[in-house]
């Protein structure tokens, strides 16, 4: 089944403790992206990647890192999480760039205390 | 500035009724517009995608329209069901951009 898989689904952590949210897609998509979703603000792009070893900042990249060493994986790294990073996170992938239909993961609900 | 505005912000209707959600955008040059359905706590799922030359596209009880001249789109839901309760997000892509613009969504509640 074609899908984007995120892990974990839920995560509670403490301020400053490094964490990684994994994202993997099995559709051989070139384009992958991370979003956060907060009430009243909609989906905001954190980082995106056009292909392996090519990443770029989205609208809200502060406090996040990404890497794209393999085509299928696009992990999101929070080096020193803070409470304002409490949010619902989505990974998405698409073929031929962002102008085509996205497939979204099921989401990761992160709480930083 | 490229923007996507959706209205209403939220909507409550009775099961079996029809409703129409609106999306206005300023993205230019325009490439395509998509409507997504997002169940609470889940990832958005694509309903329709429309390009510049398309005026109407249907997916079951969902019908999307696009007026590229006025930069407006609507999503019409016919004979609503309880399972239609969700957020509906309008997403617009520009022709020469590797970014897409998300609307903030319309939260639809279907009451039995």
pLDDT, tens only, A91-112: 999 886 555 678 999 999 999 9
Strands of A19-25's sheet in order across = A4-7, A19-25, A76-78, A65-66
- HSE of A65 in the Cβ direction (CA atoms, 13 Å)? 9
What does the alpha-carbon distance between residue A100 and residue B93 come to, in Å, rounded to a whole number?
8
Tell whether B102 is within 8 A of chain A (Cβ).
yes
For the ranges A28-32, A63-67, A78-82, B13-17, the lowest mean pLDDT is seen at A28-32
pLDDT-derived band at A10, boundaries 50, 70, 90: very high
Please, where are the H alpha helices in chain A? Answer: none
% of chain B exceeding 90 in pLDDT: 75
Residue B100: is it exposed, middle or buried by C-beta count within 10 angstroms (0-12/13-18/19+)?
A: buried
What does the alpha-carbon distance between residue A20 and residue A113 come to, in Å, rounded to a whole number?
16
Tell whether A111 is within 8 A of chain B (Cβ).
no
Compute the residue count for chain B: 112
Contact across the interface for B43 and A99, Cβ inside 8 Å: no
For residues B92 and B30, the answer to whether their CB atoms sit within 8 Å is: yes
Mutation site for B-interface testing, chosen from A37, A40, A60 by largest number of B Cβ within 10 Å: A37
Q: Is the pLDDT of residue B96 over 90?
A: no
| Mean pLDDT of all residues in B66-93 | 96
User: Could you tell me the end-to-end alpha-carbon distance of chain B, in angstroms, rounded to an integer?
Assistant: 41
Find the residue in B nearest to A91 (Cα): B43
Residue numbers in A near B37 (CB within 8 A): none
Beta strands in chain B (DSSP E): 4-7, 10-14, 19-25, 30-38, 45-51, 56-59, 62-67, 72-77, 86-94, 100-102, 106-111
pLDDT at site A2? 81
pLDDT-derived band at A1, boundaries 50, 70, 90: confident
Residue numbers in A near B31 (CB within 8 A): 99
What does the alpha-carbon distance between residue B13 and residue B2 come to, in Å, rounded to a whole number?
31
What does the alpha-carbon distance between residue B6 and residue B21 come to, in Å, rounded to a whole number?
8
- More confident site: B93 or A76: A76
Tokens standing for B90? Answer: 């309008």
């Amino acid at each position: 089944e074609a899908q984007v898989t995120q892990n974990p689904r839920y995560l509670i952590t403490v301020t400053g403790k490094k964490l990684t949210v994994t994202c993997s897609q099995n559709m051989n998509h070139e384009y992958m992206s991370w979003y956060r979703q907060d009430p009243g603000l909609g989906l905001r792009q954190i980082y995106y990647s056009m292909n392996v070893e090519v990443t770029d900042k989205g609208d809200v990249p502060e406090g996040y890192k990404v890497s794209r060493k393999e085509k299928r994986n696009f992990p999101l790294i929070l080096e020193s999480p803070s409470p304002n990073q409490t949010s619902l996170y989505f990974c998405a992938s698409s073929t031929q760039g962002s102008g085509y239909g996205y497939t979204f993961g099921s989401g990761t609900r992160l709480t930083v205390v | 500035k490229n923007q996507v505005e959706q209205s209403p912000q939220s909507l409550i209707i009775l099961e079996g009724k029809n409703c129409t959600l609106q999306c206005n955008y300023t993205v230019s040059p325009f490439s395509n517009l998509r409507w997504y359905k997002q169940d609470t706590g889940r990832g958005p799922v694509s309903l329709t995608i429309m390009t510049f030359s398309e005026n109407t596209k249907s997916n079951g009880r969902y019908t999307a329209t696009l007026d590229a001249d006025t930069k407006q789109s609507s999503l019409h839901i016919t004979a609503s069901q309880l399972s239609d309760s969700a957020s509906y997000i309008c997403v617009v892509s520009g022709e020469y951009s590797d970014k897409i613009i998300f609307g903030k969504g319309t939260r639809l509640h279907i009451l039995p």
